[in-house]
Amino acid sequence: MDEHNLPPKPDWTISELYNKSWKIVKNNPVLWIFGLAVGAGGGLNFSNVDRIFDSDTKNSLPATPSFQNFTNGQSDVLGTSAAAPWTSFFSQIPIGIWITLGIELVALVVFTTIVVIISSAWANGSLINGIDSALSGKKATIRESSEKSFKSLKPLAWLTFVPGIVLTLVASLVLGTLAAFTAFVPSAIKVILIIVIILLGLITLYFLIYIALSQIWALRMVVLDGKGGKEALFAGYRVAKKKTWSMIGLGLVNTIASIMVVLVPIAILGLLFFGGFMLAKSVTVLSTILITLAFTLGIIALVGLVLLGGIITAFKASAWTIAYKNIQGKYE
């Protein structure tokens, strides 16, 4: 067959990515540490921080009127004298103190968010730099990888926070406003508004998916190519558009492989617990041994699963970095 008629060679194969990633992660334990840091940054996501803030705010907002009600003698409705000392105490706190506490709470949330953003940016940058060093035949080190990541900290932080939060805020504002309007319009217009809300919801989902896909490449463009945050995001989007299905395929394989690896120790521990409890009524000694063994292994497994999480994160990041190196500059 003529070479010109052969199908184009794929940019990567999953077996190739996995083989190279395994060698890199196995020979560079430093990447496990960066993987743990990336995982921790991902766990402390901003939606969680917002929910905590919202919860605290909702609990504190009714405080002032309720204290006023208590001072007006309405606390008798509670039917208990236990609340009286607390009511008297809180009602005597000046409003300035409550304002100060509110400001401190907001400051704490802002500070925590900034710390999470910076640490996540550092962790991602260090991990990608470490993987790049390993691909170049060098030994990844914490010092070298960290120093390189600091140079790209600002665009990495921008990528970590700005695109997702801007889309979330705009979508929430638009969809929330339209949803509120549905309560005040005739039925015919209400149907139209609901259709518009559904369409806008689908558009929002589209952008959320493509922001996530684009960020995979954009992070590597910032770290490896020295691009700015916005430039990398749009370049990453162009690559993601070209490689959507390949990325989804690799992402699914990564997810399934991660689940399978984690499920094995969990299944073993579950069987030990189950066997111990099933034998508890009939064979006391054996059941005690099994349950004790399960608890002991459970503690060890918790530590092991945390470490395993770091290894899996480093492994997946290696696969994506190798994939990017294969297409670097090709689809931009």
- Kindly give, in sequence order, each residue whose CB lies less than 8 Å from that of residue 260, ignoring residues fewer than 6 positions away: none
For residue 303, being part of any structural domain is answered with: no
For residue 192, being part of any structural domain is answered with: yes
**How far apart, in whole angstroms, are the C-alpha atoms of residue 317 and residue 327?**
16
pLDDT band at 279 (very low <50, low <70, confident <90, very high): low
For residue 262, being part of any structural domain is answered with: no
Q: Which of 20-34, 173-187, 219-233, 267-281 has the lowest mean pLDDT?
A: 267-281
**How far apart, in whole angstroms, are the C-alpha atoms of residue 201 and residue 195?**
10
For residue 121, being part of any structural domain is answered with: no
pLDDT at 317: 95
The pLDDT of residue 177 is above 60? yes
pLDDT band at 9 (very low <50, low <70, confident <90, very high): confident
The pLDDT of residue 68 is above 80? no
**How far apart, in whole angstroms, are the C-alpha atoms of residue 153 and residue 163?**
16
Q: Domain range holding 198?
A: 154-242
**How far apart, in whole angstroms, are the C-alpha atoms of residue 45 and residue 134?**
29
pLDDT at 201: 92
Interval 198-243: pLDDT, tens: 999 999 999 999 999 999 999 999 999 999 999 999 999 999 999 9
Domain count, the chain: 1
For residue 224, being part of any structural domain is answered with: yes
For residue 52, being part of any structural domain is answered with: no
For residue 196, being part of any structural domain is answered with: yes
Q: Which of 18-22, 46-50, 86-90, 238-242 has the lowest mean pLDDT?
A: 46-50
What global pTM score does this model have? 0.74
- Kindly give, in sequence order, each residue whose CB lies less than 8 Å from that of residue 151, ignoring residues fewer than 6 positions away: none
For residue 16, being part of any structural domain is answered with: no
